[in-house]
Structure 1
Amino acid sequence: MSNYGYEGRVAVVTGGSSGIGLECVRTLLASGARVAFCARTAGRLDDVAQMMARDFGEDKVFAEALSVLDEKAVGGFADAVRERFG
Structure 2
Amino acid sequence: MSKKTVVEEVVVEEQTAASIPSITKESVKERLELIQKIVEDEHPVIAMVKAHTEQDLLLLDVLTGIVNGAEDPKDLASAALEVFKLEFTRSYS
Report the TM-score, using the length of structure 2 for normalisation. Answer: 0.29
Task: Write 1 or 2 for the structure with the bigger share of helix.
Answer: 2
Higher RCO, Cα 8 Å, sep 6+: 2
Give the alignment's TM-score, normalised by structure 1. Answer: 0.31
Question: Rg: which structure is higher?
Answer: 2
Q: Which one has a larger percent strand, Structure 1 or Structure 2?
A: 1
